[in-house]
Each structure stands twice: as C-alpha cells, then as structure tokens.
Amino acid sequence: MKKYCFILTFIISYSIISAQEVYYHTSNHSVYEFLDEFANLRVIELNTSLKPYSRVFIANKLLEIQESEYVLNKRQQEELIFYLKDFNKELQPVYTRKNKTFDKRFDVLYFKDSLFTFSVNVILGAQYFMNDSGSFYHRWNGAEAYSYVGDHWGFYASLRDNHESEILVREDYLTQRVGANYKNNDGGGDFSEMRGGLTYSWNWGSFGVIKDHFEWGNNYNGANIFSGRTPSFAHIKLNLKPVHWFEFNWVHGWLVSEVIDSASTMVFTNAYGTDQRDQMFDKYLAANLFTFKPFKNFYISAGNSIIYSADGPQLQYLIPVMFYKSVDHTYNATDNSGRNVGQNSQMFFDISSRNIKKVHLSTTLFIDELSTSRFFEDTVWNFWSIKTSVRISDLIPNTSITAEYTKSMPLTYKHNIPTTTFESNGYNLGHYLMDNSQEIYVAVLFKPFRTLSLKLSYLHAQKGKDYDDLGGSRLGNPFMDSVEWENKTFAFRASYQIINDGYIFLNYLNSNISGDMGKYTAPVFHGKQNTISFGANFGF
C-alpha cells in the first residue's frame, strides 16, 4: 500500500511541478556534474545535448535519484541531501516564515504558498590571480531573483557588475571565459551582464522570452555547436516533449552585429555640440534541434540553424521546423547578376550513449558548409567541426575520468559577409578555438566528500592559419599545415561548496602558450606561466 501511495503522490506532484520553468545557469556546474554522474550510472536518463536545465527539471531528477533502488555511497547521499535543500523549493507545496515545511537552504528572501513563489539572493564573488606577469583580479556583485505564479508561469532575473583589473577576454582570445562587452579599457575593464526571462510551461512543453546563455552539443570542455560563450542575447525559445522518445527545441535570437549601418546614422546638434548616433545592422539567429531516443540511454539529435540580417525578423525563419538552408535558397540565393546574397546556414548532429554502465560516449558534428562533390576531391574540403568525448564515472569510487578530442576545419564558423558571421558582439557562437584548430583534453575529477571537488586536467590546443584574415580562395586551404598558436596547460582545481551556491576555490595552472599570443591570448598569460588563483563567491 505504501508503494502505491508513493507512486500516486509522485505522479500528482510531477504533474504540478513540471509545468513551471526557471533556468539554472550552467556556470553553477556542480549540480550538472552530479546529475551527469547518475546518468552515467544509469539511475536517471538525461539528454545532455542541450543546457541549461530548468530548476523544475533538476528537482525532478534529484527526486528520481532519491526514490531509486540504487544504493548511494556516503558522499553521494550527503550531496543529494545538500542539493535537495535548494531544489526542494520546487518539490514542496508551501514555505513561509510561520509554516516551514522542509529543510531549506539559506536565501536572503523566500516565500511560497499555493499560488506564488518568490526568491531573492545576492551575488558576490572575487578571484585573485598571481603569476610571473604580476597580480590581477576579477570581482563581481549583483542580485538574482525568480518567481512562479500559478501552475504555468515562471519569471527570473539576474544582474551582476564585473570589474577586471586586467582585461582577460577579447573577441579573438582563445579562452573558455564568457565574452564581455566592456564599458571602458582604462586600467582594466568593467562590464555588466543582465539575464532573465519569462516562461509559460505545460506538462509536455514550454515557451519562453529569454535573455540568457545556452549550450548545444555534448561536451566536457566547450561545446562546438553553441558554446554559450558570447554575452547573453535575447531569444524566444520553444521546447516540446510530447512522448518519452522525442524532444524538439527551437530558438530565435536577436544577435548583436556590431556592423554600423551608415545609412541609418543620425547626426544631431544640441547644447553640448554636434555629435552622431550610430546604428548597427540587425542580425538574427534561428535554430532547431530534433532529438530521438530509440532505446534507453541513447539519444540522436539533428538540427540546423541560420544567421540572417534583415530589416526586422523574417516570418520564414520564425517557423520552428524548417530546414533553413532550403528556405534561404528560395528567398535569397542569388541576385540577377549571379552574386550570392544568401544568409549563413549550418547543420549539426549529436549522438550520446550511456548504454555501457558508468560510461558516457558522445560525438557532435557541426557542418558549416557541405558540398557532396568535395567528397571525391583531394584538394578541397568541407567546413566542419567534430568533437568526440568519453567519460567514465565511479569505476574508481567518487572519481570520473574524461577524455575529449575536437577538430575544426579551416573556415568553419567563418563567413565572408560581415552582417551574417556566426557571432554575436564579435564573439564566436561555436567552439572557443574557432576554425582550423584541434584540442586534446583529459581530466580526472575526484570528490572525496560532500561538494569537495579536486580536478586534475591536461589541455593541448593548437590553432593554424586564419585564412579569413589572409584572404584568397576559400577552398583548398589545408588543415593545420602550420601551428600559429599553441597552448599546453596542466591544471589543478579544488573547490568546496560550503553552503548552497557558496564556494571557496583554488586553481593552479602550469601553462605554456606560444605563437601569435598578441592576437589570441591575454597579455598576463603569455609564454610559460605558473598561475595561482583563489577566491570565493555566493551565486554566479
């Protein structure tokens, strides 16, 4: 009887909480690591080709782990209890000052009744670096809030101001740091990041108006479809999951072209003198991804995208299920003189398998330009990027081992029309190494007790010539015929989550970066460096 009561309770609670969505940013990756571990153990099933997950989705997965027959070890059990202090807020019906119905994490402000949920927290963080170039730091502060209303509506907002004493990221820097649009460059850089959204959800889908980051493509060291490294941009988002074996995702984004439209430039005069206001060309992204699960723990995804520039969003690209390259051929293929006036389209595929217990195998293929005639020629190539990954979890208790290889052919992610490049704010939407590059990444992650992570990794990244800068023919450019930039880095990271979202951390990097460092690397990391950094944060 108890068993059947639990099943009924679970079904009812799931039908209630599954109809609200607030997205949980991927920078707070400890929960993502925890869910990935249990997906590899086949305790839960997880489509890891798209991130971020919603708070409700994470809460459901934690509940599945809690109610599974799998016997958790001490560390896993303590971490589950720890994370449920946060995500129980999605699972429990009521929490007020007078009616505290569950063990909850610290929040600056939290309220929940049968209709309305509201949460507010501060964001504070600092990271201090020391190496042979000197010392420098990054600090950030702000606040975040989210709310649910009724059974379907979700709202969230997150604002943080950042200051770097040395600028650590630029459009061409080959780094995993998220891009920034700096306000000034005097003795460092200041930038702010505002994220948030409004969502409406139902049991088998959701629709949102969002400004945030997202990642497409399985990876453990940077996605090669959409990496989420650009400053966040506004987009509308649709997710449909009508059956357990199929999921559909679509976004339409408003990108930042940073290309000035001189015809729309406004010159004006006022009491302060004569000045002008520049206006940039409009730039948009449409992308979809169809995901099929033919059997348990195996996912196949395929999709396509287009970057287009027009006077306002175009209806044909607002249709979620389109193959946009073919649509582009109808609307923009060539003008009367035979010149190409088309947009910039892409295709991608992703395969993820956890059919071997404790092992996750994945492959992601991004195709920027494909011509079948080039399959049979030795001197020209298509433009594509491939990533293959393997992670083994808990073969040694509380330890995961990861290996990943990425290869991107010349001119992948590049485009010759400035208004339709695969970029926003000048930052590449795809893999952080961009085109004509390859990377080997291996890592060992050890978690000896609750929320303490010790990670040892090695990275060997190489980048060849930038044919987009060199000009000439766009066909027949050889892959990595010379190494123009190289990064060999041994890294160690220790982090401990003291309270929910409250971390202390220590990093050590032994790096050797050579080649065109002026273009691809922040000055403080040039050459051989031993970099120690440490810090603390509450929120991200």
Q: Report the length, in residues, of the chain.
A: 540
What is the reported pLDDT for 7?
A: 38
Q: Which residues have C-beta within 8 Å of that of residue 19, sequence separation ≥ 6?
A: 151, 152, 201, 202, 203
The DSSP call for residue 316 is G
d(CA 101, CA 92): 8
pLDDT in tens, 87-100: 999 998 887 767 77
Cα angle 373, 375, 377; round to 5: 80
What is the reported pLDDT for 185?
A: 63
Short-list 427, 539, 522, CA closest to 136: 522
Q: Which residues have C-beta within 8 Å of that of residue 189, sequence separation ≥ 6?
A: 163, 164, 167, 180, 182, 183
Q: How far apart are the first and last CA of the chain?
A: 44
Residue type, 349: F
- Mean pLDDT within 515-537: 97
- The answer to whether residue 74 is domain-embedded is yes
d(CA 7, CA 446): 35
Q: How many domains does the chain have?
A: 1
Q: pLDDT-based confidence at 333, cuts 50/70/90?
A: low
Q: pLDDT-based confidence at 101, cuts 50/70/90?
A: confident
The DSSP call for residue 108 is S
Contact status, residue 230 vs residue 192, Cβ threshold 8 Å = no
Per-residue DSSP letters for 323-338?
-HHHHHHHHHSB-TTS
d(CA 156, CA 539): 14
Q: Which two tokens stand for residue 282?
A: 């409009």
Per-residue DSSP letters for 266-300?
EEEEETTEEEEE--EEEEEEEEEEEEEEEETTEEE
Short-list 540, 536, 516, CA closest to 526: 516
Per-residue DSSP letters for 404-450?
EEEEE-TTTT--SSGGGSSEETTEESS-TT-SSEEEEEEEEEE--ST
d(CA 466, CA 484): 9
- The answer to whether residue 322 is domain-embedded is no
- The answer to whether residue 321 is domain-embedded is no
Q: pLDDT-based confidence at 377, cuts 50/70/90?
A: confident
Q: pLDDT-based confidence at 342, cuts 50/70/90?
A: confident
> What are the distances in angstroms from CA 468 to CA 306, 473, 518?
20, 10, 18
- Mean pLDDT within 484-506: 97
Q: pLDDT-based confidence at 309, cuts 50/70/90?
A: very high
pLDDT in tens, 411-456: 999 998 999 999 999 999 999 999 999 999 999 999 999 999 999 9
What is the reported pLDDT for 238?
A: 98
Span of 131-140, 183-192, 216-225, 523-532 with lowest mean pLDDT: 183-192
Q: Which two tokens stand for residue 398?
A: 């509380």
DSSP H or E stretch at residue 60: helix 55-67
- The answer to whether residue 169 is domain-embedded is no
> Percentage of the chain with pLDDT > 70?
94
pTM over 0.85: yes
Q: pLDDT-based confidence at 186, cuts 50/70/90?
A: low
More confident residue, 92 or 362: 362
pLDDT in tens, 137-165: 999 999 999 999 999 999 999 999 999 99
The DSSP call for residue 181 is -
What is the reported pLDDT for 491?
A: 98
DSSP H or E stretch at residue 84: helix 74-91
> What are the distances in angstroms from CA 133 to CA 136, 173, 520, 525, 526?
9, 17, 17, 7, 8
Mean pLDDT over the full length of the chain: 92
What is the reported pLDDT for 95?
A: 78
- Mean pLDDT within 196-202: 97
Task: Please check the confidence at residue 336 and state whether its pLDDT lies above 60.
Answer: no
- The answer to whether residue 429 is domain-embedded is no
- The answer to whether residue 520 is domain-embedded is no
The dihedral built from the CA positions of residue 70, 71, 75 and 81, taken in this order, carries a sign that is positive
Task: Please check the confidence at residue 372 and state whether its pLDDT lies above 90.
Answer: no
- Mean pLDDT within 398-410: 97
More confident residue, 539 or 49: 49
**What is the extent of the structural domain holding 8?**
1-95
- The answer to whether residue 394 is domain-embedded is no
- The answer to whether residue 147 is domain-embedded is no
What is the reported pLDDT for 258?
A: 92
Q: pLDDT-based confidence at 252, cuts 50/70/90?
A: very high
The DSSP call for residue 305 is E
Short-list 503, 455, 505, CA closest to 28: 503
Contact status, residue 460 vs residue 430, Cβ threshold 8 Å = no
Buried b (16+ CB within 10 A) or exposed e, 314-338: beebeebebebbebbeeeeeeeeee
Task: Please check the confidence at residue 16 and state whether its pLDDT lies above 50.
Answer: no
Q: pLDDT-based confidence at 13, cuts 50/70/90?
A: very low
The DSSP call for residue 100 is B
Q: Which two tokens stand for residue 75?
A: 């560390």
Task: Please check the confidence at residue 338 and state whether its pLDDT lies above 60.
Answer: no
d(CA 35, CA 457): 21
What is the reported pLDDT for 237?
A: 98
Task: Please check the confidence at residue 11 and state whether its pLDDT lies above 70.
Answer: no
d(CA 8, CA 6): 5
Helix, strand, coil percent values for the chain (each to nearest 5)? 15, 45, 35
Task: Please check the confidence at residue 3 and state whether its pLDDT lies above 70.
Answer: no
